[in-house]
Structure 1
Amino acid sequence: MTDRWLSVEQIAAYLGVSKDTIYAWREKKCLPAHRVGRFWKFKTDEVDDWVRSGSAAEGDAHD
């Protein structure tokens, strides 16, 4: 099954950005993430939908 949970490091590599960017997007731009204990986990299909919606764009209304 390819729809597994990814860590911050893995989703950063998947999107080609830094871990700091992932944390910033999660807080300021509503990047879909799920808290599992003390860790943040991500589903690629949710993140892909979020990117396609334009929410990662600079100057977004969530800033």
Structure 2
Amino acid sequence: MPKGKRGTAEPKADTATASSQPSSVAEATLTIPELAEYLRVHPTTIYRLLRAGRIPGFRTGNLWRFDRAVIDRWAEQQTASSHSEGSPPPRRKGRKARTSERT
């Protein structure tokens, strides 16, 4: 058995230790870049939604995390509310239409 620098054999660290999260929990929780990819939006959009309080998330220290099941329900609600009959038409960006009358 090869010896380490200090003269004793050192076991290799196992990547799946008790201190790491189980894969089911890690897969159910998303970071901002993962959520942006999942929703197919830019990460800046996620930050804007967070700032406006329009997306469910929680902080762990200074990092944002998102529960995938909660995000799925939120996305369904957003889709349903945007397709309802009472919703206003989408806002258009750009110049206002000119009127034919000039004064």
Q: Same fold (TM over 0.5)?
A: yes
Measured against aligned partners, the alpha-carbon deviations of 1:4-47 in whole angstroms (never above 9, x if no partner) come to 21110000000000100001111225200100000000011111
Question: SS in structure 1 opposite 2:78?
Answer: coil
More strand by proportion, 1 or 2?
Answer: 1
Equivalent pair of 2:56/2:70 in contact (CA under 8 Å): yes
Q: Which residue does 2:39 correspond to in 1? A: 15
Aligned pair count reads 59
Amino acid at match of 1:41: R
Of structures 1 and 2, the one scoring higher in RCO (CA 8 A, sep 6+) is 1
What are structure 1's unaligned runs of at least 5 residues? Answer: none
In our comparison, the structure showing a higher alpha carbon Rg is 2
TM-score normalised by length of structure 2: 0.49
Counterpart of 1:36 (choices 37, 60, 63) is 60
Task: List structure 1 segments (4+ residues) > 4 angstroms apart after TM superposition.
Answer: none
What are structure 2's unaligned runs of at least 5 residues? Answer: 1-23, 89-103
Q: Which residue does 1:48 correspond to in 2? A: 72
TM-score normalised by length of structure 1: 0.76
**How many Å separate the matches in 2 of 1:50 and 1:28?**
15
Superposed CA RMSD: 2.6
